[in-house]
Each structure stands twice: as C-alpha cells, then as structure tokens.
Amino acid sequence: MKSELELRGVQQRFHARGVADGYVTAVDDVSFKLLASPPQIVSLVGQSGSGKSTIARNVLGLQKPTAGSVLYGGKDIFKLSRSEYDAYRRDVQPVFQDPYAIFNPFYRVDRVLWKAVKKFKLASTREAGLKLIEESLQAVRLEPENVLGRYPHQLSGGQRQRIMLARVHMLRPSFIIADEPVSMLDAQVRKHFLDILLDFQREHGMTTLFITHDLSTVYYLGGEVMVITKGQIVERGPVATVMHEPTHPYTKLLLDSIPSPDPDQRWTTRIQVDELERLDDNTPADTTKPEAPVL
Amino acid sequence: MNNVLEVKGLEVVYSTNRGDVQAVRGIDLDVHRGEILGIAGESGSGKSTLAVALLRLLKAPGKVTGGSVMFHPAGRSPVDLLKVHGEELRVLRWSALSYLPQGSMSSLNPVMRVEEQFKDVILEHAPARRDSLGELIPRLLGQVGLEPRVGRMYPHELSGGMKQRVLMAIAVALEPDLVIADEPTTALDVTIQRVILQSLADLRTDFGVTLMVISHDMGVHAQLADRVAVMYEGRLVEVGDVRQVFKDPQDPYTRQLIESIPRLGRKAS
C-alpha cells in the first residue's frame, strides 16, 4: 500500500490581480495514481501555464492543495506522522528543471551526496559512504574522479543534472518526480539523461512522473502520458495511442503544431492567436526553457 | 539577381589561450531580396557566430579575419558591413538591418513599458515619426497578433511567446531591408512556436522584409524557408531551394541531418 502515490480531486488556486474573482485556478480537479510496481514512466505534458509544475509541487508536498488530497500509501501526505513523513520524503524524490539553482555555489558538489548519505544513514563508515557515492556516480555515467571535489561552476549543466540523478540512485526511491529536468540540456545530453531514467525504471524499479512541455521527449520515454491544459487533464493513455490517435482537440492542436520537417507538408491552416492568449494569460512570468529538443 | 547581402570568404576566429578556434571558415553566401533564407546546422556549427559577425555584434575574443559582406539597402548606396564604423553603422541598424535575438526573455528592458521600448528605437533611428507613434505602435503590435493594450504592459506581464512577438514587432518597426532572426522559436512551446512562424511568414508577405532565420530545428526550415543553407563545422556545406535540400540533399552531412530528424511515430535512437 506504501507503493502508491495518488492525487484525488486536487485543486490549487492562487490569488491573482486583474482576474474576475481574484483567483486563478492552476490545477483543477486532477486525479491520477502512480504505482511503484510495476515500475512505470508517466509523462505529464502541457504548455507553460497549464499547471503541470504546480502538480509537481503538490505531489512533493511543497504546496498544500486548496482542495482534494495527495495520498501516499493511502494516507494524506499533509497528515503523516513524523516517521511516516520521513519515509515519504525518502521514497519520493524530486529532480528539478534548473541544474544551476539546486547547488550552493560555495560548497563542493560532494556535499549534496554526503548530505544524503548522512541524513538517510546510508552508510556507517566514510569508506562505505564513498563507495556508495562512487557507485551511484558510475550508474549515471559520471567518472567519480572528474566530478568529486569540484564546485558547481566547474561542471556542465548535464553533469550537474546527473549528480542529482546519482543522489536519487543512492536513495533508491519508489518515485521520482522530475519537473522539466531536461529542458535546459542540449540534445545529446538530454538523450543521456532520459536513458538513465529508463535504466532506473528497468534496473531499480523506480516509477517516474516526468513533467515536460516537449512531446518528442515524451515519445522517447514511452510509457503512459497525461495531457494537461488549463489545470485539467484532458487526455491520458499509452504514449503510442495518444500520439497516433489523439481524441481531445487540445492534444490534436499540440501534435499538429510540431513543425513537420517536410516542405511539402506545410501548415495550411492558421492557428488562432486568441485561443493561445488565454493560455498565455495564466503565465505572467515565463520560465526560460532554452534549446528545443532534437532527439 | 537582386541581392540584399553578398557574403564572400567570411572568416571568424575565437582566440583562446590554446590558440585560435576557427568558427566560420570561408563562407560565401548571397541573400536574395524578399526571401526567407534558413540557416541550419547543429550546435557549434557556427550559425550564431555568422549572424553576429554579419550584424557587427561580434565580441572579443571573436574576430573577423577575412572576407567581405556587401549590404545593399534599398535607396542607399551599398556598403561593406565589415568596414563601416560608428555613425555610419548606427544609422544602418534598425532602419536597414535588424536583429531578432535568441532568448527574448532577457532582451527587453524590465523596467520600461513595451510602448516606451518601441519609442526608444523609433525615435532614435527615425525621429521624424514622432507624430505617428500613437498610430504606429498599435499597428505594429497588431501585425504580430498582439492587442494594443500590450503596449501599456511591462515585460514581466508577458509570456515568453508574447515577448518574442514584441521583439519581432520592434525589429520591423522601421521596415528594415533585412532581419536576422537567431533561433526565434527555440525556447517556446510548440503552439506558440507555430504562431511565431506564422508571424514571421506574415512579415515577409506584408512588409516585404528579407529574413535570415537561424535554427537548429529542421522542422522550422521546412515550414518557413524558401532556401536553406546548411552549416557544418564553420563551413557552408549546401545551399539550395528548401524542397531540393529536404528531398534531394547533395551533401552527405545534409543527408545525415535530414535522416536524423525525429518524427513522432518513429522512435528516435
């Protein structure tokens, strides 16, 4: 029963100025279930402003939903006992978008890994701890001698993001909540990162909730996909089904908007600006997402 | 042939403490008036270096080591962009040659309203238009599908796609001969990307501007460009009509590039 993470009727509203009733609804009655076994990869795809990152914050317990509940092992995560909460925090691990922001620039990157060893008592001796760290770095295809002892600014974005994956690898959580983890990485590094997530699923039985705005990444990962727009999940199913036989108009619009690399198949219709403007209105501050994928 | 730009033998190097790195290696390229020319290539192929060199925005340690760039603005005498300086260059900017930068997020002044940023550019380069500003700004915004009220907003109130469109409107405010757009759709969601591509095509139709669009996304070129130039390791390996480049690529690298395009329905490897 522990191995289940469920959102039940989650709603998240935020105060906002200049809106009719003084609120925007970022997440609107969202329900879904993630199972640890069998391990799965579930992608949540949507535009910026669709509410997907808010869902990540809800699942991680960083934001208490205004209505509905997030259940871990059948219990509301905001009502767990101290020890249950610790178990949940260990079992559900985040990977965030910005590989630059998660590190304290004054500390060597080792600290992130040692903190995990100590906090979760993964090893009793320094040697055992170091061995664990080295193993995990190798699991994410990093050479320990190339990254240990370095400061965050001495590593590339891809290396930093993989260090966070090494940390996840050490903890062996049942669930990884990955919020746009590859949007700041370029194509080659991106593929690397996704392959590691797939490894984690196959070899270590981890279930990932993969949040992205990018359809080709979803396609690469496979598994299940949920399409979210304006805070509501409008379509869900196996990736191949949703991409080849989309049923919701929004999913169709998304798929149709991928520029086809064929000059004989140019768009013949125009897309309405105002239907997007409504999407835009939800996103006053846009997060920077460089590098569209070329997987 | 009516060319807006004739690039001949352009060479750009970046000096490093381990010697010079040649980023652009002897490029010859003509840009025809009124066309949309796509510049394709992977990261590090020299696309952006080419753009900033043409715009004379190349910063040290980058330096142009050879070649010429003849620019033929309408109604003015042709100039070698690599040889103009100071006032002469300033006069050309925006009014004849403009730039749509990558990363529109950081290109607008965060403490100025959008309309003030339009005024800034227009009054600096075409002070005679002061009286028509009230009519001009809403018209330019409308051109890229934005409502006039956007003029009163600050950049933080706009989404990424809206900011990109504001920049596009500013770039064409003075009806330049040539607009160089560096990865105009890269940081955006797919539907917004599509709107931007639509608006770029409209700019050519409505204003007759010549566009040079730099993108690593072959889909963008297939949808938008008339001709495509493919760069690889600082060299131009192929230039041709978009249909020819996609359907019958002549260079092995281009062929590889076309084949490696991910398509939904086929798993990328």
Picking from B127, B69, B62, B63, the residue whose alpha carbon sits closest to that of residue B94 is B127
B92/chain A closest Cα distance in angstroms: 30
- pTM, two decimals, is 0.75
pLDDT, tens digit, for every residue of A252-286?
888 888 888 888 888 888 876 554 444 444 443 33
- CATH, range A4-98+177-259+269-276: 3.40.50.300
pLDDT, tens digit, for every residue of A179-221?
988 877 777 788 889 999 999 999 999 999 999 988 888 988 9
Per-residue model confidence (pLDDT) at position A264: 87
Q: Which member of B159, B189, B264 has the closest CB to residue A255? A: B264
Per-residue model confidence (pLDDT) at position A237: 95
Task: Report the complex ipTM.
Answer: 0.73
- CATH, range B3-102+178-260: 3.40.50.300
A11/chain B closest Cα distance in angstroms: 23
Strand partners, A27: A12
Per-residue model confidence (pLDDT) at position B72: 92
Query: Using CB atoms and an 8 Å cut-off, which of residues 46-85 of chain B contact chain A?
Result: none
A165/chain B closest Cα distance in angstroms: 22
Mean pLDDT across B147-168? 86
A276 contacts in chain B (CB < 8 Å):
161, 191-192, 195
Q: Which member of B160, B220, B222 has the closest CB to residue A48? A: B160
Domain boundaries, given as residue ranges, for chain B: 3-102+178-260
Categorize the per-residue pLDDT at B263 as very low, low, confident or very high, splitting at 50, 70 and 90: low
- Tell me if B268 and A280 make a contact (CB, 8 A cut-off): no
Domain boundaries, given as residue ranges, for chain A: 4-98+177-259+269-276
pLDDT, tens digit, for every residue of A77-92?
999 999 999 999 999 9
Q: For B242, which residue in chain A has the nearest alpha carbon?
A: A263
Report the 3 state secondary structure along chain B.
CCEEEEEEEEEEEEEECCEEEEEEEEEEEEEECCCEEEEECCCCCCHHHHHHHHCCCCCCCEEEEEEEEEECCCCCCCEECCCCCHHHHHHHECCCEEEECCCHHHCCCCCCCHHHHHHHHHHHHCHHHHHHHHHHHHHHHHHCCCCHHHHHCCHHHCCHHHHHHHHHHHHCCCCCCEEEEECCCCCCCHHHHHHHHHHHHHHHHHHCCEEEEECCCHHHHHHHCCEEEEEECCEEEEEEEHHHHHHCCCCHHHHHHHHCCCECCECCC
- Tell me if A219 and B246 make a contact (CB, 8 A cut-off): no
- Tell me if A259 and B219 make a contact (CB, 8 A cut-off): yes
Is B103 a residue whose pLDDT tops 70? no
